[in-house]
Structure 1
Amino acid sequence: MIKIKYSVFAGLIFALIMFIYLSITSKMDIAVVVSIFIFIVSPFLFYLKLFSKIDFAGKFQKIDKKLVIYSGLSNHLKDGITIGGTLYLLNDRLIFQTNLINFLKRHELTIMLNQIAEVETVNSFGQISNGLLLKNRNVENEKFIVTKREVWKEQIEKQIVK
């Protein structure tokens, strides 16, 4: 019951914020209609997103932060969609775990470093220089969008040599 109250309260706050914003920038009629719609719809969305009974935490392996050599926010290109998460480099593997926002495409990917044949820097969207392509020996290639891709490449290659 408390979860429903929190969802309704969050919906009320969201509707109130939108009402104030729209009443300043638009007509009052639009502000009222949109705020009522938001107040009706958003508690359901908040409840489903924040308080659903699906436990995603059990799917991912626990990563000992002491073993992490390098990590950072990343996007994994999967099925033509970039999915946000965190990429971890350990001494023998790379682990990508999606963040909480990606509840539809939630996944974890582990790539053993001894399976990586080559690490390349590539451009994402044809022009932005932030892509990292891992060419694997046995499975398909994996592409990530990272910040400091040169550092990622250097760190991965350093661990592969070891």
Structure 2
Amino acid sequence: MLQDMQEPIEQAGVGVPDNFQRLWTPHRMAYIRGENKPTGSGPGDGCPFCEIPKMSDEDGLILARGSTVFAVLNLYPYNSGHLMICPYRHIADYVELNEAETAEIADFTKRAIQALRKASGAQGFNVGLNLGQVAGAGIAAHLHQHIVPRWGGDTNFMPIVGHTRVLPQLLRETRELVAEAWPS
């Protein structure tokens, strides 16, 4: 329960009370620690994008499956509905895609945008690839394209000051809504 910001909250043993409310996000520690990251660059080195298609759609947070690619929610999203399009084939570079994979990634990108607009009323999108670790790829060994829905005013002080993202919906609920809205 939030208290008046003028009254410091007493927290025995945790330091000097101040006027800040705390929003604890312990689930982010898995990302910070690099849990479930591949141990190497091969498909047998614990690549989550190779393991996810073996799971049920619900357990793997899969939105749609194609013949060469699949769409999956990001486990560490920037915004609700942040998803990725991944080829089934374990490749790292965009130029390694064959024509069928390239075409299906483009098609799935269009479908993802349509589904996110329908499910959440997204007003804009960031769509992109981070090729290589130095370009920001968290898992550089397996190509994946990000699609991040955006809304006017969706940024606030939390990511800047608190290094925390506030998401209004659980991933399973988001998966259900976007999967239901996915065009056939």
TM-score (norm 2): 0.21
Q: Given the two structures, how large is their TM-score scaled by the length of structure 1? A: 0.23
**Structure holding more helix per residue:** 1
Q: Which has the higher strand share?
A: 1
Structure with more relative contact order (C-alpha pairs < 8 Å, separation 6 or more)? 2
